[in-house]
């Protein structure tokens, strides 16, 4: 019998990945999130995945960060091939058993080989882009800037984000929405007519206050999303180390 009740939102991992097929580090991460109508997001998901909502609202994130040391277990990282900037556009989903996960509309990276490998193995919509990351001091704060311009597949898609990083939030200051947007221990994807599901393990995200100084992006519209409205919720994190499991077939795409 299918359980449609979603998993509870927890700050600690709900799954173990004892035999990962991929090890990664997600560092210097900025997360900008906008509200969307759930029906708008649901229309972009394959049948069998349901948009996850918080107080009846769907959320879409623009997430630039520094991918570090992608590697297979028990193998060394491959220098520049394993460490590079990434910017993804994502939303939040539940599967037919109520498990919570992430759905990626796009993932832009500055290395074409990892983009091609991830498309083939995980069915994820990786793209090849020219990207930069920089930081500068501003009194007691750090200014972080991320840029991305897509090169393949061709099309107008770019982003330029600058944030001022503030103090770290205490655990007692984190909101239920913070947990909803960050405590995700799986990803969903599609490959042909199949839905895939892969468990993810990492520690709880250390989150900092962040102020958006500049945001000019077209990655959301390139993913088929309406232009976002309003000021995004912003957070910054120094990052976490990640263990990713083998993707499993979750069923056929419905509809």
| pLDDT score at 6 | 80
Residue among 74, 245, 61 at smallest CA distance from 161? 61
**Confidence label for 4 from pLDDT (cuts 50, 70 and 90):** low
Encode 115-142: b = buried (16+ Cβ within 10 Å), e = exposed: beebbeebbbbbbbbebebeeeeeeebb
| pLDDT score at 198 | 95
| pLDDT score at 122 | 82
Q: Is the pLDDT of residue 117 over 90?
A: no
| pLDDT score at 147 | 98
Percent of the chain having pLDDT more than 90? Answer: 78
**Confidence label for 1 from pLDDT (cuts 50, 70 and 90):** very low
Q: Which residues is 36 bridged to in the sheet?
A: 58
Q: How far apart are CA 234 and CA 151, in angstroms?
A: 27
Cis ω on the peptide bond leading into residue 235 (within 30° of 0)? no
Q: Evaluate whether 46 touches 253 at the Cβ level (below 8 Å).
A: yes
Could you report how far apart the first and last alpha carbons of the chain are, in Å? 20
Confirm whether pTM is higher than 0.85. yes
Question: What six digits make up the tokens of 38?
Answer: 């759930």
For the stretch 41-94, pLDDT in tens is 999 999 999 999 999 999 999 999 999 999 989 898 888 888 999 999 999 999
For the stretch 132-157, pLDDT in tens is 999 998 777 899 999 999 998 887 89
The Cα diameter of the chain in Å comes to 57
SS3 for the chain, per residue?
CCCCCCCCCCCCCCCCCCCCCEEEEEEEEEEEEEEECHHHHHCCCCECCEECCECCEEEEEEEEEEEEEEECCCCCCCHHHCCEEEEEEEEEEECCCCCEEEEEEEEEECCHHHHHHHHHHHCCCEEEEEEEEEEEEECCEEEEEEEEEEEECCCCCEEEEEEEEEEECCHHHCCHHHHHHHCCCEEEEEECCEEEEEEEECCCCCCEEEEEEEEEECHHHHCCCCCCCCCCEEEEEEEEEEEECCCEEEEECEC
Question: What six digits make up the tokens of 176?
Answer: 């239920």
**Confidence label for 128 from pLDDT (cuts 50, 70 and 90):** very high
């Amino acid at each position: 019998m299918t359980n449609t009740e979603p998993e509870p939102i927890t700050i600690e991992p709900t799954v173990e990945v004892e035999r990962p097929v991929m090890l990664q580090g997600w560092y210097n991460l900025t997360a900008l999130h906008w509200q969307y109508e759930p029906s708008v997001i649901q229309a972009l998901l394959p049948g069998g995945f349901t948009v996850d909502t918080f107080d009846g609202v769907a959320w879409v994130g623009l997430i630039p960060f520094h991918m570090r040391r992608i590697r297979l277990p028990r193998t060394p990282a491959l220098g520049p091939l394993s460490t590079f900037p990434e910017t993804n556009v994502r939303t939040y989903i539940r599967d037919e058993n109520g498990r919570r996960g992430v759905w990626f509309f796009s993932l832009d990276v500055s290395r074409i080989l990892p983009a091609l490998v991830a498309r083939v193995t995980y069915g994820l919509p990786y793209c090849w882009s020219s990207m930069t990351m920089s930081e500068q001091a501003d009194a007691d704060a750090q200014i972080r800037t991320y840029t991305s311009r897509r090169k393949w597949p061709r099309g107008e898609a770019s982003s330029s984000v600058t944030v001022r990083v503030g103090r770290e939030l205490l655990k007692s200051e984190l909101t239920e929405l913070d947990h909803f947007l960050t405590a995700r221990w799986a990803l969903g994807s599609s490959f042909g007519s199949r839905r895939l599901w892969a468990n993810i393990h990492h520690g709880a995200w250390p989150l900092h206050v962040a102020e958006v100084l500049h945001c000019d992006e077209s990655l959301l519209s390139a993913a088929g999303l309406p232009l976002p409205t309003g000021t995004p919720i912003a957070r910054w994190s120094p990052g976490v180390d990640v263990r990713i499991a083998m993707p499993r077939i979750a069923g056929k795409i419905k509809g």
